[in-house]
Amino acid sequence: MRKPLVAVATDTTLIDGVHWHSTQAQYVDAAAKAAGLTPLLVPNLAADLDVDAILDAVDGVLLTGSRSNVYPALYGDAPIDANGPYDRERDATAMPLLRRALERGIPLFAICRGMQELNVATGGTLLTEIQERPEALDHRAPDLPDRAERFGLRQMVKLRAGSQIAEILDDERAVVNSLHRQAIGVQGKRIVADAVAEDGIIEAVSVADATDFALGVQWHPEFWAGSDPASSRLFAAFGDAVRSHAARRGI
Ligand SMILES: N[C@@H](CCC(=O)NCCCC(=O)O)C(=O)O
């Protein structure tokens, strides 16, 4: 049987003076191995991207994490150097893609920056440097060279009873990793908080009345999708939703 295609968001990066549209292998690997899909990387062509042509070809959208922050003017804040780096090409590509995927009922899985994009694209705002709030946990990655330690599972989140993520994980809590300095502020239209950290930061969301799988997590299940059962369940559930969508289209 053919494995359905999943559109994977990329970052615009400058390496040795050359621009790349690329993403970390961990997202591509998790989409292929843990979700059983064929990843198709989406170039950050902004208005030059034919979003419907991409969405005609795929049965799911994976919004990846990235160190860059969503451009603040997109949610009504002033851009300041300390808040960067930004990736405006990615903003201008991922947000129309995700909005149209929601309109067309195409399964959507949004990770870290991806979840923040989902919130901004639906009219919400972001908090910045959340570790500086009183009583806040430090949600940033530990300053360690080893990637497995940076992505270590170390923070408890509480799942909303009855939410799709609680059903997928079959639990009331999850232990997750944490590599972010921004978080959801005002929730976007139809964005429902499905998990919170011990300091109240929103850690997972869904889209109310979405016609298909539409889930965002502030953590990184892709890193452990091959070994941690909860991370693996999230990718398996996304893969199942994408396969059901493909089957309905007769693919
Ligand atoms: N820039 C946002 C988004 C955080 C995010 O997606 N982090 C991924 C980091 C991956 C890595 O360090 O390799 C924020 O900081 O809130």
Q: Going by CA atoms, what residue is nearest to atom 4 of ligand 1?
A: 180
Q: In the prediction, which pLDDT does 15 show?
A: 94
| Interface pTM, i.e. ipTM | 0.96
Active-site residue list: 112, 220, 222
Q: Going by CA atoms, what residue is nearest to atom 6 of ligand 1?
A: 65
Q: Is 112 in the pocket of ligand 1 (CB under 6 A)?
A: yes
Please, what CATH class does the domain formed by 5-248 belong to? alpha beta
Residue-wise pLDDT for 133-143, tens only, equals: 999 999 999 99
Residue-wise pLDDT for 179-217, tens only, equals: 999 999 999 999 999 999 999 999 999 999 998 999 999
- The domain spans of the chain are 5-248
Q: In the prediction, which pLDDT does 81 show?
A: 86
Q: Is 69 in the pocket of ligand 1 (CB under 6 A)?
A: yes
pLDDT < 70: residue spans in the chain: none
0.90 cut: is pTM over it? yes
Q: In the prediction, which pLDDT does 53 show?
A: 98
The rounded Å distance from CA 2 to ligand 1 centre is 33
CA of 68, closest atom in ligand 1: 1
- Written as one string, the DSSP assignment of the chain is -PPPEEEEE-EEEEETTEEEEE--HHHHHIIIIIS--EEEEEP--GGGS-HHHHHHH-S-EEEPP-SSB--GGGGT----GGG--B-HHHHHHHHHHHHHHHHHT--EEEETHHHHHHHHHTT--EEE-GGGSTT----SPPS-S-HHHHT---EEEEEPTT-HHHHHHTSSEEEE----SEEE-SPPTTEEEEEEETTS-EEEEEETT-SS-EEEESS-GGGGTTT-HHHHHHHHHHHHHHHHHHHHTT-
